[in-house]
Amino acid sequence: MEKRVNRTAAIGLLATLALFVSEGDSWAGELAEKRLMVQSAAGETKVPETLYGIFFEDINFAADGGLYAEMVKNRSFEFYDPFMGWEIAGNVKVRDDGPFENNPHYLRLAPADNRWRQTAIQNGGFCGMGLKKEACYHFSIWARTVDGVAPQTLRVELGESDADTWGQMVAVGKVEVSTSQWKRYALELKPSRNCNAGFIRIFLEGDRSVDVEHVSLFPEDVWKGRENGMRRDLVEALADLHPGVFRFPGGCVVEGVDLNTRYQWKKTLGPVENRPVMENRWQFTFQQRFYPDYYQSHGIGFYEFFLLAEDLGAEPLPVVNAGLICQFMADSESQHAPISDLGGYIQDALDLIEFANGDQTTRWGRMRAELGHPEPFGLKYLGIGNEQWGREYVERLALFVKAIRKAHPEIQLIGSSGPSPEGKEFESLWPEMARLKMDLVDEHCYRDEAWFAKSASRYDSYDRNAPHVFAGEYACHCRENGRNRFDAALLEAAFMTGIDRNSDVVAMATYAPLLAHCQAWQWRPDLIWFDNSTVIKSASYYVQRIFSEYKGTERLKLTCNGLELYGGPAQDSLYASAVCDRRRGACIIKVVNLSDNDQDIHLDLRSIAKGQFPRGEVVMFRADDSEADNTLENPNRVTPEVRPMTREECNNSSFTSPARSLSVYLFYDRALKCQ
Ligand code: AHR
């Protein structure tokens, strides 16, 4: 690590600090007011557009049951028990010679053996279906008649098992199955009332059998009204983060628990009926949070991921499997792809670049055009491997790098520094990443309060000539059970002032995980929680949003009472960063006060527009209880507030930074705006 730590600078700072303190001017003592002085930074100061982004992985039911708006669980009957997610009545049998090669199972509904009984199937979605009164729902089903007698009728009902309501059904419709050939039938349903735990029921009405396959229900109100769409409320929450980069599809999901279950992007394209359904590795990763019904339908596949990145205005950053399975779970090296088999894995990566960027004369560029996007997606970044380490990773990575550099020198390649932000793997991987001339190195920082409190200075000493950093996964895990809480979010904010200050070396940062179903999560804390009707933005979400929204366009240097501001107890737990935003025409200062005391601060902006500002705003984020967070019951418990600065504040820029708060001070001046 010697190369990466600027020890001289660190010792220099300590010496200055010692002198400062020995002279009697302590941060907390006589100098009650902190003078935060903004100075123009020397050298390259541009803030990367990618600095704050999002990382999507299908964990915590983030895809099926989450972002993917499909409401039917196990719609193709491909879970290890084909009836999982379904309740059946009457005469229902599973068959496996269906019309979709990759998902061959379907159901045969035959008449019940008694005229009082009925044959029906019922699906309760993902912990119930959230149905909205008068909203339109698109039902579809593949079906065929069996006995040569057509048409046969299927009755489709939406309902809720609600003890307070006498009639359970909230919408009814019929499908006439008209032929013995497999065909898709569709129907619109409008519930007569709201349901949070709704279900769908399909009855066989006639006296002849009908085969059914790929049963689907989507709300009409999805993101951009697209078919096979995503939940609008969730995508809007992502869009509000203004992500500059979008990493997908994992995470450990990229690795799989064996090579068969690794993520294979080519299998996620084309008609959803034929995208292979497979178990999700988070189904069984934590015994205490076992979800045997957690599968991946790949309804959101790589085409949808690229489209979403484009919608969000974020750079797409796919991660490909490096020929290694999850090294936490691998019992032996022999479970990895042998080097001699790596050609196919590398070709997958090259084909992915062609899929994203190739013109229509190329095989994969044509595929993208046929799917509906003739223009290239403009891929610039590619991650190779998730949390990999050791010799087995480095030797495989080298082969990927060689082949991709040769064919696509324009693509920036991202390597792994292992699962931890320090330690043996980390220390040995960084020099290897430098040797392989990776453009960026992915660091994963799931750490406790103490780590976050001290790590705002982490990147100050990184070697500016080494690969850049992608803080690809990070979150403050409170020792108490990993719950989301306001004070963890505040610690993340303190850490992020260090990212702001070092955006010449940290090019991108993404919190993880992004999404979690309140009733079906495996990992916490998470950025956004949801159930079938509600989206809950955590305190961490608001921190991400604030840093992203106010990331600025140029880095500015900031000192506090003459010293560089690193944060930490020696500096009264005050953390801060400064940027200029040429788009807004504003100088922006973020201040995190982790201490239990209010602190008076004076913002000295004389180096910027002579320190005279006609207008300003203050964004204040704090909580009355630092252990609190937003919940289903109280989704707006902690939210930031924005207020205009008073004339006096604009003139003398003195403020009180409240105990345990994040505040952002925006000073507007037309002269700062880019012309
Ligand atoms: O974010 C959850 C998991 O944490 C990711 O899948 C993995 O990369 C890390 O261990």
Separation CA 598–CA 660 (nearest Å): 8
Separation CA 157–CA 184 (nearest Å): 18
Instruction: For residue 50, report the phi and psi dihedrals to the nearest 5 degrees.
Output: -85, 0
- Residue 342 tokens, joined: 């790596």
Name the residue among 334, 268, 226, 299 with its Cα closest to residue 71.
299
CA-proximal residue: ligand 1, atom 8 (nearest)? 251
252 close to ligand 1 (CB < 6 Angstrom): yes
- Residue 590 tokens, joined: 């973020």
- Residue 551 tokens, joined: 């990331």
Computed on alpha carbons and rounded to an integer, the radius of gyration of the chain in Å comes to: 28
- Residue 268 tokens, joined: 């996620």
SS (HEC) of 401-434: HHHHHHHCCCCEEEEECCCCCCCHHHHHHHHHHH
387 close to ligand 1 (CB < 6 Angstrom): yes
55 close to ligand 1 (CB < 6 Angstrom): no
Residues with catalytic function: 387
Does 614 sit behind a cis peptide bond, omega within 30 degrees of 0 on the bond before it?
A: no
C-alpha 324 to ligand 1 mean position (Å): 15
Alpha-helix residue ranges (DSSP H) falling in 250-389: 252-255, 302-312, 342-357, 363-371
Separation CA 229–CA 210 (nearest Å): 28
Q: Which atom of ligand 1 is nearest to the CA of 473?
A: 1
C-alpha 252 to ligand 1 mean position (Å): 6
Q: Are 77 and 105 in contact (CB under 8 A)?
A: yes
CA-proximal residue: ligand 1, atom 9 (nearest)? 251
Q: Quickly list DSSP for 577-612.
A: EEEEETTTTEEEEEEEE-SSS-EEEEEE-TTTGGG-
Separation CA 616–CA 668 (nearest Å): 6
Please choose from 257, 286, 327, 523 the residue to mutate so as to test ligand 1's pocket, defined by most ligand atoms within 8 A of CB: 523
Residue 41 confidence (pLDDT): 55
Contacts 24+ apart (CB under 8 A), 338-342: 339/395, 339/396, 339/399, 342/396, 342/399
C-alpha 254 to ligand 1 mean position (Å): 10
Instruction: For residue 152, report the phi and psi dihedrals to the nearest 5 degrees.
Output: -120, 145
- Residue 507 tokens, joined: 């090019």
SS (HEC) of 273-316: HHCCCEECHHHCCCHHHCCCCCEECCCCCHHHHHHHHHHHCCEE
Element (H, E) at 668: strand 661-668
Name the residue among 259, 221, 18 with its Cα closest to residue 136.
221
Name the residue among 487, 416, 541, 661 with its Cα closest to residue 52.
541
Task: State the first-to-last Cα distance of the chain, in angstroms, to the nearest integer.
Answer: 43
Q: Which residues of the chain have pLDDT under 50?
A: 1-30
**HSE value, Cβ hemisphere, 13 Å, CA-based, for 164:** 2
Name the residue among 623, 661, 535 with its Cα closest to residue 239.
535
Residue type at position 131: L
- Residue 168 tokens, joined: 């359970």
Q: Which atom of ligand 1 is nearest to the CA of 513?
A: 1
Q: Are 64 and 262 in contact (CB under 8 A)?
A: no
Single pTM value for the model: 0.94
530 close to ligand 1 (CB < 6 Angstrom): no
CA-proximal residue: ligand 1, atom 5 (nearest)? 251
Q: Kindly report the number of other CB atoms within 10 A of residue 84's CB atom.
A: 14
C-alpha 173 to ligand 1 mean position (Å): 43
354 close to ligand 1 (CB < 6 Angstrom): no
Instruction: For residue 486, report the phi and psi dihedrals to the nearest 5 degrees.
Output: -60, -45
C-alpha 263 to ligand 1 mean position (Å): 14
Residue 63 confidence (pLDDT): 98
C-alpha 462 to ligand 1 mean position (Å): 24
250 close to ligand 1 (CB < 6 Angstrom): yes
58 close to ligand 1 (CB < 6 Angstrom): no
Separation CA 162–CA 198 (nearest Å): 9
Residue 571 confidence (pLDDT): 83
Q: Which atom of ligand 1 is nearest to the CA of 419?
A: 10
